[in-house]
Amino acid sequence: MKKTGTTLVAFLNLLGVKHTQSFSGQYFNEHPHKYNLFGLSKMLADYGIENAATRISDKENDITEIQTPFIAHFGGDFAIVDTVEPDKISYIWRGIRHSSPTAKFIEAWSGVVLLAESSGKSIEPDYREHRKAEQISLLKKTAFISALSMIAVITYINQSLYADGGISILLAINLAGMYISWLLLLKQMKVQSRYADKICSLFKQKDCNNVLESEGARLFGIIGWSEIGFGYFSVNVLLLLFSPAPITIIALINIFTLPFTLWSVWYQHSKAGQWCVLCLIVLALLWAMFTANILFGYLPLAEFFRLNSPFSTFSFQFAITASCYCIAMLGINMLVPKLNTEETVQLLKQSINSIKADEDVFTAILKKQPFYETGDCDSVIRFGNSNSKLQLTILSNPYCSPCAAMHKDIEALLTKVNNDISVQYILSSFNENLNSTNRYLIAACLSDNTAFARQIFRDWFEKGKALKDAYFKKLSLNMDNPEIEIEFRKHESWKDKTQIRATPTVLVNGYQLPENYKIEDLRYFTDLDL
């Protein structure tokens, strides 16, 4: 199950940008700057969406002139405005769609907006890979549900349950109860569900979450009513399908649920002051079960007296059935925190990322690392912006697999920052027999064609290693250039001076990259001033 980054996902939907909900949600939830306009702007830029922030001075008159959709700083948070009319504004705030008078919206709006415009190039990074993974996940879920449904249908037909109209109706009611209770569970775990949101929005001025997060949403403050509901309806479905004998017991236990329905309506109306549409549907289904039990004669009064006899077979059946309900409800209660750990993990990652992305924190940690003298003349192998404040020096081995992975990360970093950092490579090797490869790579960089040299490095680390020097034969490089040997000796001299041998080694303005930072983290420090 995936939590979704409501603001980013909703905005991408409105802009019509290709994306996957799972990646976009995770990307938003773990982003170090998701709570500020700078972070939202950076995220949109990563999706190839041009954007700019501005402040509207004349809010009352200019708001109707702003092209929708746009992100507005609203009530100390961010709202996505998709429709602006002279007397009404429609917007998405904290995952819920709202509609309010224009004047009222303007009161809570700071005047700051983030304007964005998508293009044909706007798309989620690595969209195809993420889309494929999402489709595989959907296929697995579909296969699982289909298998369960097939078992249920075969059982229904094999036991001729269709011959008893009452059981068929009760099955339908309880299946509906399972589904609605599942939506309530998703709400409780803060998992985005389009269908749950649509049902909850039937009362547009209310929000199901306000009731589900209230004090009365848990029995004795321990187990949630949504967990109880899902367990209750699930057990009913299993008993009706595989053991229809205790139908009278199911009907009796249903009676015990009815006082809860009255209390729930009172609580929502008098204490919470809010209505939960999903909760009301569950209450209606409980009464629908009671009505069906009466109509089909599943509640004979004689059973009440039989229940009073502690040694009767019926009493034992009742105790066993009641135990099934308890096991299901408590099992779900224990399982929900396990399923809900993803949200906790994302919150922890976001907190850690926000600390790591703080320039003062990074600078303090960086300056505690070993320092090595680096300069522009250390290597001719340079990519990106040589005048950037962020200068990376990388000791790399052409035949080193971690170095190949590192180069892929470097390429991704250069793309994300629009080549606005400086990257220089110092080449090493496992032994002298492999030094010829270093000379070939140096020759490619001496060609004064940066794009060509960068492509050579990219191809080499992806597929050239297996071919060794044969890879370079078709490139017709000028290996007689005396500058090649001069440059090669510069690399050897730098290694002797620094005594660095481990590859890959990454230096940031001369300081060794801290172990708890990755190459991708450096995109937050393009203006680093050491």
Residue 350 has pLDDT above 50, yes or no: yes
In the numeric block, which tokens belong to residue 357? Answer: 């992305």
Cα 241 from Cα 238, distance rounded (Å): 5
In the numeric block, which tokens belong to residue 331? Answer: 């099992």
pLDDT digits (tens, 9 = 90+) for 173-198: 999 999 999 888 887 777 767 677 77
pLDDT digits (tens, 9 = 90+) for 102-155: 889 888 899 999 999 999 899 998 899 999 998 998 898 889 888 888 888 888
Contact between residue 387 and residue 506 where contact means Cβ atoms under 8 Å apart? no
Confidence band of 7 (pLDDT split at 50, 70, 90): confident
pLDDT digits (tens, 9 = 90+) for 33-48: 888 888 899 999 999 9
End-to-end Cα distance, the chain: 43
**3-state helix vs strand vs coil in the chain, percent to 5:** 60, 15, 30
Burial of 231 (0-12, 13-18, 19+ CB in 10 A): buried
Q: What's the average model confidence in pLDDT over 360-384?
A: 89
Of the options 3.40.30.10, 3.40.190.180, 3.40.630.30, 3.90.1150.10, the CATH number for the domain spanning 369-525: 3.40.30.10
Of the candidates 406, 437, 399, which has an alpha carbon nearest to the alpha carbon of residue 504?
406
Are both 6-117 and 159-341 of the same fold?
A: no
Regarding beta strands 70-74 and 77-84, do their DSSP bridges make them parallel or antiparallel, or are they unpaired? antiparallel
Q: What's the average model confidence in pLDDT over 214-241?
A: 83
Confidence band of 354 (pLDDT split at 50, 70, 90): confident
pLDDT digits (tens, 9 = 90+) for 66-79: 999 999 998 788 89
> Which CATH number applies to 6-117?
3.90.70.10
In the numeric block, which tokens belong to residue 237? Answer: 């479905």
Residue 205 has pLDDT above 70, yes or no: no
- Write out the CATH class of domain 159-341: mainly alpha
| Residue type at position 219 | L
- 3 state SS of 517: coil
Contact between residue 506 and residue 513 where contact means Cβ atoms under 8 Å apart? yes
Bond into 398 cis (ω within 30):
no
What residue segments make up the domains of the chain, in order of their start? 6-117, 159-341, 369-525
